[in-house]
Amino acid sequence: MTQPMLSIDLQGAIAVLTLNRPDKRNAMCDQLLEEIDAFFSHPPEAAKVAVLTGAGGHYCSGLDLGEHVARDAEGTMRHSRNWHAVMDRIQYGGLPVVSALAGAVIGGGLELATATHVRIAEPSTIFQLPEGRRGIYVGGGASVRVGRILGGDRMIEMMLTGRKYSADEGVALGLAHYAVGAGEALAMAMDLAAKIAANAPLSNYVMIQALSRIEDMDKAGGLFTESLCAALTQTSPDAVEGLAAFLEKRAPSFGSGK
């Protein structure tokens, strides 16, 4: 029987997902992508936040070229579109996802990381898009997700030259949100995940769904969408509880959101 490539450990409200191909620097293959997709398509009922990390000192080194399958143009396009669908499920599935980054965050690994919502990088982290050096082009969403973080001009230079960015450089550019010491990313990810899990589920969901979409809208559309989100969240039972907790100087007790 094929062994799972994604380890899933549910710790209360936090689902810890570990890419488990350490001998391949957690390179992505069809089976691993399918296991990631299966989790985010039907996350456990108890999970309010996911933490995504990699075994063996690396996050994900991108597509496993050792398992490369020759495809024609249509097959390549369909394969790319499947990656897009899986990355969208991570970004928009409604479950906040925190990435604990170390080692290789390369190619498809960077596409995976930028589909998550909070990213923490250890000193060993290397961000790279080496596709141009291999005669190919990104296909898992980097043109949009990485491009919007870096801007087209900087991403062109990164791909043309195969440039590598360090953890500190990645934070400065927006590829990561935090830089921490060696071995500290997972602990911080768990701490942040616990804080996120304590938020009102509806407001977490709305933030994930709305903000990146508002970025695509014109000003008027974005402002109207903001008003809809405000109306939805501020008239919810959790908003009543949040205000009461503030006035009573206590921690709020939000509903499950299910």
For residue 167, CA distances in Å to 26, 134, 173, 189 come to 19, 24, 10, 15
Rounded to whole angstroms, what are the CA distances from 27 to 6, 74, 105? 12, 24, 10
Q: Which of 34, 111, 169, 248 is catalytic?
A: 111
Which of the residues 34, 122, 131, 241 is marked catalytic? 131
The contacts of residue 230 (CB under 8 Å, 6+ apart) are: none
Q: What angle do CA 121, 99, 67 make, to 5 degrees?
A: 100
Would you say 173 and 129 are in contact if contact means Cβ atoms under 8 Å apart?
Answer: no
- d(C-alpha 204, C-alpha 236), whole Å: 13
The residues facing 31 across adjacent strands are none
Spatial contact of 91 and 115, defined as CB atoms under 8 Å apart: yes
Phi-psi region of 72 (alpha: psi -120 to 50; beta: other; left: phi over 0): beta
Catalytic (active site) residue 131: yes
SS3 content of the chain, % helix, strand, coil (to 5): 50, 15, 35
Q: How many CB atoms lie within 10 A of CB 81?
A: 11
User: Is 157 a known active-site residue?
Assistant: no
Tokens of 3: 């062994």
Catalytic site positions:
111, 131
